[in-house]
Structure 1
Amino acid sequence: MILFKDDLIAVAQSPLSHWLTHLPAQLEHWQQAQQHGDLRKWLKAVEQLPELVAEQVSLADTVTVQSAGVTEGEQNRIRGLLQQLTPWRKGPFNLHGVHIDTEWRSDYKWQRVAPHIGDLSGQQVLDVGCGSGYHLWRMLESGAEQVWGVDPGQLFLAQFLAIRHFMPAELQARAHWFPLGVEDLPELRSFDTVFSMGVLYHRRSPIDFLGQLKAQLRSKGQLVLETLVVEGDASTVLVPGQTYAKMRNVWFIPSSLALLHWLERCGFRNARVVDESITDVAEQRATEWMSGQSLADFLDPDDSSKTIEGYPAPRRAVIIAEA
């Protein structure tokens, strides 16, 4: 439990203290379960990062931590250790002059989301499927009191811990990450805002997933849902074959109108689409920090409006709703 000691203390001191009836046992079970074979190596890389004072911090489009007097040798050490945590999917980050050019320009997504979420000041905010936690830092920039990320990805845990390592103590104390899926969460009904970005289409039962998100929100709390959609009416839902854009874990892609209907059936109110846009190769691409295949490889080489399988190319919508 040492890995999450400070986070559990933060839970105890927050409006989420009733989470402690489940959380410690879940984390204990996680630590005793069989882990990814590289987890020990990843956490060791985080432990070896140099201790540097964060003199300048920006939680803007490139999440940045800077300190005067960082030597070239320290930068090389940081770069080498962080490259042990590849692939880096969500970002970008700049840590003491080391720029992590991630596969996704996650700042593009945040620019589409941020104008519509209102003021997060003083809020307890949950991000379901948070990845490495890039958006957690942007949520703090938007005023959140505490941000809580959950994601079962163990590499993402190491990446989050690496970023948090360089943050000043005040920000470290407000950003938390647990290796859990939404199905592991009890009905907390305590968060002011719940984000779920890029997760819905990976769920075998999207209706159950929407219900699980609602169970985390306080009365009149806000859901921010970002997901793949297709064009069509309220009855349009794409059910791909074995893959969609080479992804094997895509189950349902509704139209925005169908998704609004789902949300209404799940008991959400005032659901509305605030943005809908096509994902392009400027937003998702291979880089030095993610050198595998990316969006350009997933599209029809002769018609970028289609995936390699012939489905509509990725279109993403942002929907806001209230519990």
Structure 2
Amino acid sequence: METEEILKLNKDSWELSAERFFGRTALPEYGPLAPTEHQLQLFGDISDKKVLDIGCGSGHSLQYMGDKGANELWGIDLTTKQIQTAQEVLRNQKVNVSLFESAMEEDPGLPHTYFDIAYSIYALGWTTDLRRTLMNIHNYLKPEGIFIFSWEHPMHDRIKYTGEAFHLEKSYNLEGPEFNEAWHNNVVIFHRKLTTYINTLVETGFMIERVVDDVLLPEGEVPQDYTKWYSVQKAQLLPTTFIIKARKRS
């Protein structure tokens, strides 16, 4: 499929499904069964910072940033319904809010060399062009600005429960666009190795400060649900989520 076809397919699917994700996987959470910002403290002091959310969804991560004292709240998202919801969620913020309906591969007119912080919570992996998206983010940031993102660990959907045990079902090494099983094959997401994310960050002018793939398992007894997409049983074997903090070189 061509890039424009993938973007249209994904946008159409998100427009139909957006309400299921309102407020889910938003800061201070980084992802399912992963450490939170309360534990990791990756952002530091957000007071008076200009922040940009890549794939801002329903706006709840931006709301968190506003509540923590950010000075300007900016976001982009592919989905009309998400932008509309974010506008409602953020309408009582006392600072400037600017939202753009746009694919992250495109620059919708955001200011360059402007933001102190850019971040993406479980959204960056939707890009059809990782290098172009990271170059955009690099352009948006001030020198020494930070970029933090989380995404599903690329080993997670390689492993599948087959009724008796977890088995490797797909090659980790084979990268490229795939219909996504968790979305009932109604969207296309690019499979990329963890090293691809790291190396592309470096190649586009970022310094890696931290990589996190720890698992945060619930305490006490948990239901035995091996078939759940983000099951505790699977997370006992491998991470669900990875998180990277990088900084734009000065």
Calculate the TM-score normalised by the size of structure 1. 0.53
Q: How far 1:236 moved relative to its partner?
A: 5.0
Which string of whole-angstrom CA distances, capped at 9 and with x for unpartnered residues, describes residues 239-266 of structure 1? 46432423522112322x4422221111
- The answer to whether structure 1 residue 144 and structure 2 residue 70 are counterparts is yes
**1:259 and 2:197 equivalent?**
yes
RMSD, aligned CA: 3.7
1:160/1:240 CA distance change after superposition, 3 Å: closer
Equivalent pairs: percent with the same residue? 19
Does residue 1:109 correspond to 2:34, yes or no?
Answer: no
- The runs of 5 or more residues in structure 2 that have no matched partner are 1-11, 157-171, 219-224
Give the Cα separation in 2 of the matches to 1:109 and 1:267: 24
Q: In the alignment, does 2:51 pair up with 1:125?
A: yes
In structure 1, what is the Cα distance between the partners aligned to 2:174 and 2:216?
19
Q: Give the aligned partner of residue 89 of structure 1.
A: 21
1:127 maps to amino acid: D
Matched residue type, 1:252: H
CA contact (8 A) 1:192 1:218 kept: yes
Hey, what does 1:21 align to over in structure 2? Answer: none
Question: What corresponds to 1:203 in structure 2?
Answer: 127
Take 2:89 and 2:179, find their aligned partners in 1: how far apart are those partners? 35
Contact 2:147 2:245 in 1 (8 A): yes
Structure 1 residue ranges without an equivalent (≥5): 1-35, 40-84, 92-102, 282-294, 307-311
Shift of 1:321: 0.7
What's the CA shift string for 1:275-321, capped at 9, x where partnerless? 3245999xxxxxxxxxxxxx9976399x9639xxxxx9872111111
Q: 1:177 matched to which residue of 2?
A: 99
User: Are the equivalent residues in 2 in contact too, given 1:128–1:181 (CA < 8 A)?
Assistant: no
- From the superposition, tell whether residues 296 and 209 of structure 1 become closer, same or farther in structure 2 (CA, over 3 Å): farther
Q: Deviations over 1:11-65 (max 9, x none)?
A: xxxxxxxxxxxxxxxxxxxxxxxxx9xx9xxxxxxxxxxxxxxxxxxxxxxxxxx
Q: Rate the CA distance shift 1:158–1:313 in 2: closer, same or farther, 3 A.
A: farther
* Structure 2 counterpart SS, 1:87: helix
Q: TM-score, normalised by structure 2?
A: 0.66
- Whose helix fraction is larger, Structure 1's or Structure 2's? 1
Q: Which residue of the partner structure matches residue 240 of structure 2?
A: 315
Written as runs of structure 1 = structure 2, the 5 A alignment for 1:1-323 is 87-91=19-23, 104=25, 107-109=28-30, 112-113=36-37, 115-165=41-91, 167=92, 171-182=93-104, 183-186=106-109, 188-231=112-155, 238-239=175-176, 241-246=178-183, 248-255=187-194, 257-273=195-211, 275-277=212-214, 299=229, 305=234, 315-323=240-248
Q: Is the 8 A contact 1:123 1:145 kept in 2?
A: yes
Question: Does the 8 A contact of 1:279 with 1:316 survive in 2?
Answer: no
| Secondary structure at the counterpart of residue 299 of structure 1 | coil
Q: Could you say if the C-alpha distance between residues 164 and 208 of structure 1 is closer, same or farther in structure 2, counting changes exceeding 3 Å?
A: closer
| Aligned residue identity for 2:67 | E
